Amino acid sequence: MLRRVLRQCYSLHRPTVPRRLYRRFCSSPSETTATTISIDRSTLYNPPEHTHHPTSDSELVKHLKGIIKFRGGPISLGEYMSEVLTNPKAGYYINRDVFGAEGDFITSPEVSQMFGEMVGVWVMCLWQQMGQPQRINLVELGPGRGTLMADLLRGASKFKNFIEALHVHLVECSPALQKLQHQNLKCVGEENASQDTDVRTARSLFGTPVSWHAMLEQIPSGLPTIIIAHEFFDALPVHQFQKASRGWCEKMVDVAEDSSFRFVLSPQPTPATLYLLKRLKWAAPEEFAELNQIEICPQAMELTQTIVDRISSDGGGALIIDYGMNGVISNSLQAIRKHKFVDLLDNPGSADLSAYVDFASIRHSAEEASGEVSVHGPITQSQFLGSLGINFRVEALLQNCTEEQAETLRTGYWRLVGDGEAPFWEGPDQDVPIGMGTRYQAMAIVNKNHGVPVPFQ
C-alpha cells in the first residue's frame, strides 16, 4: 500500500540530491520519533465561533482598549495583530506552548522528523555550493519548540566538517518557547545567563553553539549566513484595505458602544497606504481589478529586505516555507483556537492569528532590495521534499520500526507531501490525515555567487 502511495505522490519527482550525501545523512532508520498527529492549520474547516458567555476583560483586552482610547480612534488591524501575538506581557506566543495536539495547531516539524531532516539536506547542499566555508551562521526565524533544528542537527551529525562550521542562531521573542528550544536541543553550558544581555548562548547535544536573539538584526554579521523561515512569515501582522466610494480604505479595529471590538474603515490615508501602493505597482491590473479587499504585509516586505541585505553582503541564502499564494491576496487572516476557527476579535490573545504569505510580494521585495541575489520558486512542499529524497527516507525508516511507528510514519508522510485525504486511511473519518503538500510553498533566496540551489534547478 505504501509503495502505491509513494508512486501517487512522486511519480514525477526524483531526488536531486547527490545519493552519497543522502545515504549518509539519512542512514539511521532506528531513530524514528513517535509523534501524536492532530489537525494542522491548513485543513481546518470549522466555522468561526464566539464565546457567548460574558467574561471580564483580560489584561490584553484592557491594554488594547487603552491604546484606542488614548489615541482617540481605532488602530490598524496590523497593530491589533502584533499586540495579540507578541505583547510582552500577554501576547499569544509569549508565555505558552501553542504547538501540537494540546496546543492550537501543529506544524510540519511536529508531524514528522523527516521534515527537519530534508531541510537539513537542503542546508548542507547549499553549504557545499558555497564552497564549504569553515564558519557559518545557521539562523532559524520563529523556531517553535526547536523540533526542526533538533532533527536537522541530528541528521547532519555524521558530517563533522559541517557540524563544526555551524553557529546556530534562533530568533525567538517568547521566553517560554526559548526554554523549550533549550530543552529539545539538549543545550548545556549556557553563557551570559547572569549578564544583562538579550543574547544567550549554549551548546547543543552535538557540540554546536546555539544563541538566542529577539530579532535578526542582533545576529553578528561578517559570516556566510543560511536562514530558515518555516511558518514565520504567516504570523507577521497584515493590513487589510477595502474598496469604498472614496477609494481604498484601511480596515481598522475600534471599540463599539457595547465595549466589544468591531471593524471600521479609516476616514483618510494611513501609513500602510504606501505599502499598498507598492503592492499594486507590482501586480498586473487584472489581479486586483475585481477585488473589493486587499491584504498586504509591510513587515514581510521589510524583513525580506533585511534578509537580502545580509545575504548580499555576507553570502548565503534563505529558505522560506509557508502556506500562501504566488499573487495578490484578498482576505486570508484567520484565528485558530484548539484546532478550530474562531472570530478574529473574540477574546484576543487566546487564539493564533495567521494569514497567507504573499510569495510574489517577497520576490519583488527581494529583487528590488539587491541585484546580488536570485529568487527561486515558489514550488510546492510536495515537490520540495520529494526532490530532496523524502521517499527514500520513509522507506528506510519503515524497515526498522514497530507497527505503531509505521502507522505514524505513513500518516506523517502523507501529511507532509499528500494532497487531500489519505487513500490508505482505515480509522475514524474525523481523524483522516489531510495532506498539505500543495498548500504549502517553498521559496529560496540566495547570493548569485552560489548558483541555483537544489531542488530549484
Instruction: Report the mean per-residue pLDDT for the chain.
Output: 85
Judge whether 90 and 60 are in contact, CB under 8 Å: yes
Residue 340: strand pairing partners: 337
Inter-residue contact 167 to 208 (CB < 8 Å): yes
pLDDT digits (tens, 9 = 90+) for 186-203: 998 776 544 444 677 888
Rounded Cα–Cα distance for residues 168 and 42 (Å): 29
Q: Which residues of 379-418 are buried (b: 16+ CB within 10 A; e: fewer)?
A: bbbbbbbbbbbbbbbbebbbeebeeebbebbbbbbbbbbb
**Cis peptide, bond prior to residue 88, ω within 30 of zero:** no
Residue 15 — pLDDT band, cuts 50, 70, 90? low
Q: What is the mean pLDDT of residues 28-49?
A: 40
Beta strands 434-436 and 440-447: pairing type?
A: unpaired
pLDDT at 96: 59
Distance, in Å, from the CA atom of 373 to the CA atom of 448, rounded to the nearest integer, reads 5
The top-scoring range by mean pLDDT among 144-148, 351-355, 383-387 is 383-387
Would you state the pLDDT for residue 28?
46
Q: Among residues 259, 272, 340, 343, which one has the least CA distance to residue 302? A: 272
The model carries a pTM of: 0.86
Tens of pLDDT, residue by residue over 249-303, are 999 999 999 999 999 999 999 999 999 999 999 998 888 888 899 999 999 999 9
Q: What residues contact 30, with CB distance under 8 A and at least 6 apart?
A: 400, 401
Q: Which residues contact 255 (CB under 8 A, 6 or more apart)?
A: 65, 68, 69, 261, 262
Convert the pLDDT of each residue in 212-230 to its tens digit: 999 999 999 999 999 999 9
- Hey, which residues does 294 pair with through a beta bridge? 241
Can you identify the CATH homologous superfamily of domain 108-233+296-450?
Vaccinia Virus protein VP39 (3.40.50.150)
Opening angle at CA 74, ends 72 and 77, nearest 5: 155
Sort 455 into a burial class: Cβ within 10 Å, 0-12 / 13-18 / 19+. buried
Provide the residue ranges of all domains of the chain, joining segments of one domain with +. 108-233+296-450
CA distance 179 to 186: 11
**In DSSP terms, which residues pair with 254 in a beta bridge?**
262
Backbone phi, psi, residue 334, to 5°: -140, 155
| β-bridge mates for residue 251, sequence order | 265
**Strand 209-213 vs strand 166-171: parallel, antiparallel, or unpaired?**
parallel
Q: 122 is written with which cell numbers?
A: 537542503
Q: Which residues pair with 162 in a beta bridge?
A: none
| Residue 447 near residue 373, CB atoms below 8 Å | yes
Q: Is residue 43 scored above 60 in pLDDT?
A: no
The string of DSSP codes covering 100-143 is STTSSB--HHHH-HHHHHHHHHHHHHHHHHTT--SSEEEEEES-
Task: Show the cell assigned to 13.
Answer: 519527482
Name the grid cell of 361: 510580494
Under the banding of pLDDT at 50, 70 and 90, the label for residue 320 is very high
- pLDDT band of 86, cuts 50, 70, 90: confident
DSSP-assigned letters across all residues of 329-342: B-S--EEEETTEEE
Confirm if 85 and 92 have CB atoms less than 8 A apart. Answer: yes
Cell digits of residue 429:
473519518
Closest to 386 (Cα-Cα) out of 3, 9, 2 = 9
Does residue 304 sit in helix, strand or coil?
A: helix
Q: What is the dihedral of CA 406, 412, 418, 424, to 10 degrees?
A: 40
